[in-house]
Amino acid sequence: MRPKRIILLFVIACVGGVIFFFVCKYTYDFKVVKLKEKARNAFIGAVDQELRNRSVDGDCSFNLDAKAAMSAEIPDSVYFEDETGKRWYRLDPKKNRMNITNNSTLRALHSFAFGKKELLADSLNAVWNEQLRKSNIFLESALCVSLINIDGSIKSQNTCWNEWCNSSNLVFTSYIGYACEIEIIGYLCYSVWSIMYKEIFLYLLLYIVLVYGFYKSFIVLRRKLYSLPNKEIIEIEVIKEVPVEVPVIKVVQNIDATIHSYKLNERSIFYSERNILVVDGVEKKIQPQTCRILELFLEEKDHKYMLEYSVM
């Protein structure tokens, strides 16, 4: 392969590689967003299932500042009351927006149900894993459950911790309860290959086809562009050769005019010096002796073709 073609192929491969990288990155980011959305929805379904499995007995009431409830502002604190007494919680606006539900009644029910019997990370993770499989997500999962006590202390529990449980595999952080007192962090063991291995094969195949196609197209276009001036040169050379051939033709005609020829009839011509007899346009080569005798007869035609032996 010529050096120019190698450089051309290298440039096309580099440009195609950059495009391949950005397309893969965009696809990966898009699929990760969808994965996190489906994982959080599956977790909400797992919490609902866990709530239905609980047997909630007794009365529970909750209250908040009426002025804050009627305004657009979020109250600074809330409390709910059960048989154990009244419990106050400070309400963080950021956590409030990250609660799994905006329904205040359902939030209070979460606080009441999961306050009596705490959420266990292992059992909740098992239910979440079932919901993930229903959403066609077959990845290893893990949960970190943290409970904020009334005094502000945090009680945490995790599922079996692994090295992949880090920020790169974090899929959601949500809060449960009326005062967002339960924090749930979900992890999924995913990678670029596990998320888009099919797309990688497809994009790689397209990359090879497109790079080869652009390379061959450029070569063909380059040949056509280079062939245009060559045609012009050929046409110019032909035009220059035309006046050279004219005198050659004239010379041939002059030479033919000096050749002795005899017209035998309408169909036959005899060229004595060339030893050729032309019949109906077809040349026939004859022996020199025969040509000489025929020429002598033709020269003596005025004497009625009577030849003396001395002439022979």
Confidence (pLDDT) at 105: 81
Residue type, 117: K
Residue 49 lies in a domain: yes
Q: Identify the helix (H) or strand (E) that includes residue 29.
A: helix 3-53
Series of mean pLDDT values for 10-residue runs along the chain (312 residues): 80 91 94 95 93 69 50 59 66 84 85 82 92 93 85 72 84 89 92 90 92 88 73 45 42 48 78 81 82 78 58 48
Residue found under tokens 């009644």: 105
Confidence (pLDDT) at 257: 45
Confidence (pLDDT) at 249: 37
Task: Tell me, yes or no, whether 30 and 178 share the same domain.
Answer: yes
Beta bridge partners of 99: 175
Contacts of 307 (CB under 8 A, 6+ apart): 296, 297, 300
Confidence (pLDDT) at 303: 62
Confidence (pLDDT) at 77: 67
Residue 312 lies in a domain: no
Confidence (pLDDT) at 59: 56
> Could you give the CA distance from residue 152 to residue 261 in angstroms, rounded to a whole number?
133
Residue at which a domain ends, from 196, 224, 249: 196
Residue at which a domain ends, from 151, 174, 196: 196
Confidence (pLDDT) at 246: 40
Tokens of 80: 């709910």
Q: What is the layout of strands, in order, in the sheet containing 276-279? A: 261-263, 268-271, 276-279, 282-285
Residue 235 lies in a domain: no
Task: Tell me, yes or no, whether 43 and 166 share the same domain.
Answer: yes
CA angle 204, 205, 210 (to 5 degrees): 100
Confidence (pLDDT) at 238: 44
CA 65 to chain centre: 58
> Could you give the CA distance from residue 78 to residue 65 in angstroms, rounded to a whole number?
8
Task: Tell me, yes or no, whether 87 and 167 share the same domain.
Answer: yes
Residue at which a domain ends, from 172, 196, 220: 196
Is pTM beyond 0.85? Reply is no
How many structural domains are present in the chain?
2
Residue 27: give the domain boundaries: 3-196
User: How many residues belong to the chain?
Assistant: 312
